[in-house]
Chains A and B, each alone.
Chain A
């Protein structure tokens, strides 16, 4: 089975801190994603990476950046954390199979971030 590992289950940070959320997948997937999930707003895509050093903005990239130096690792960076970034952050990965209908998304267990 695919394993997507997020380094922390819970994080508490202060406003203005630089925050790193790490995600590692063990199945050589090309695609990796960062989502945030908030009550009443559902899952929203922050950033997407389709290859090493390649990234694409999602629906809500403001206040975030990402890094993908190795295929298995995708980092989400909050340059200066703010209270409105308190949320559940979910990492996911998928194997790119072009226009195949069989591409499946796998999620990590999530990081609940609180910014005080």
Chain B
């Protein structure tokens, strides 16, 4: 059974710092990996989707990488801002689960002014 782990569970950084969030998964047979952002009490917003054949995707100050063989993905946030404070979740779409995703529990990020 696919399992997704995100470490650390919480992270606090000063504004302006570059940071990396980690996501690992146990089964490399995936179609894609998606990173989401969740603000308190709100739904999830999709940030980036990396297809299984891709190594990375970029959107603005965000860069997500995928190493399928080692079961790892990272989300790199450049020049962090207080507005980046949120919970970041990763999810994989296993090849054996159709359209269902398996989610990590998220990393709660706080960027201090």
Are A90's CB and B44's CB within 8 A?
Answer: yes
A70 within 8 A of B: no
What per-residue 1/0 map shows which CB atoms of A70-105 lie under 8 Å from chain B?
000000000000000000101010101001111111
Say whether chain A's binding surface is mostly helix, strand, loop, or mixed.
Answer: strand
Interfacial residues of chain B within 8-32, with CB under 8 A of chain A in the complex: 31-32
Number of inter-chain CB pairs below 8 Å: 59
- Report, as a range, how many residues of chain B touch the other chain: 20 to 34
- When the two chains form the complex, which single residue of A100, A108, A112 contacts B31, counting CB atoms closer than 8 Å? A100
Looking at B69-77, B78-86, B103-111, the stretch in contact with chain A turns out to be B103-111
Interfacial residues of chain B within 30-77, with CB under 8 A of chain A in the complex: 31-32, 34, 36, 41-46, 49, 51-53
- Mark B residues whose CB is within 8 Å of A: 31-32, 34, 36, 41-46, 49, 51-53, 89, 91, 93, 95, 98-101, 103-106
